[in-house]
Amino acid sequence: MNQSDPLQKLIVSESQAVDRQALADLLSPYLSINKETQSFDFSGTFLELTNADRILIVLCAVKARSLVLGSDEKITPLEIIKLEIAPEGSIKNTLKKLLESKDIKSDKGQYYLPNYKLLRVIARFKKNNQQ
């Protein structure tokens, strides 16, 4: 395809490269990833987020962990529930709403944030932090 074609910017790919710096900047106020256990250690700031934002941060963290440690970038609702970031019913309901709004994707009962959606999530958090 012709790169000067203005329609080219509409073409996205799930294999699109991840802006690692932007992802690190997004996640650093909210959590760290334990190198030995690969678990997430959430900050107090994380607990101030809405349930939807918590889940988006978790999905971004799963993506970051997969990039650095080679783990899977998808997560099941049960795995999210085990993180104890919100009540079970709230997590399932929020995942459903995020999926319906096309903010996240699902594959065989596992949820993930496509690479091309990452910039949208980062913009969402920047906007929220400016308010």
Q: Does 34 fall in a domain? A: yes
Instruction: Please give the pLDDT value at position 13.
Output: 61
Q: What is the pLDDT of residue 14?
A: 63
Residue 97 lies in a domain: yes
- Can you list the pairs that 52-55 forms with residues at least 24 positions away whose Cβ atoms lie under 8 Å? 52/94, 52/97, 52/98, 53/124, 53/125, 53/128, 54/85, 54/86, 55/80, 55/85, 55/86, 55/91, 55/94, 55/95, 55/98, 55/104
- pLDDT per residue as tens digits for the range 19-63: 899 999 999 999 999 989 999 999 999 999 999 999 999 999 999
What's the CATH number where 90 sits? 1.10.10
In the three-class reduction of DSSP (H, G, I as helix; E, B as strand; rest coil), residue 110 is classed as: strand
What would the pLDDT profile of 85-122 be if each residue is shown by its tens digit?
A: 999 999 999 999 999 999 999 999 999 999 989 989 99
Q: Is residue 12 part of a domain?
A: no
* pLDDT computed for residue 31 by the predictor: 96
Using DSSP's 3-state secondary structure scheme, residue 114 falls into coil
Instruction: Say if CB 98 and CB 56 are below 8 A apart.
Output: yes
Q: What is the pLDDT of residue 95?
A: 97
pLDDT exceeds cutoff 90 at 5: no
- So what's the pLDDT on residue 3? 65
For range 63-73, the mean pLDDT: 91
Q: Which domain holds residue 83?
A: 18-130
120: in domain? yes
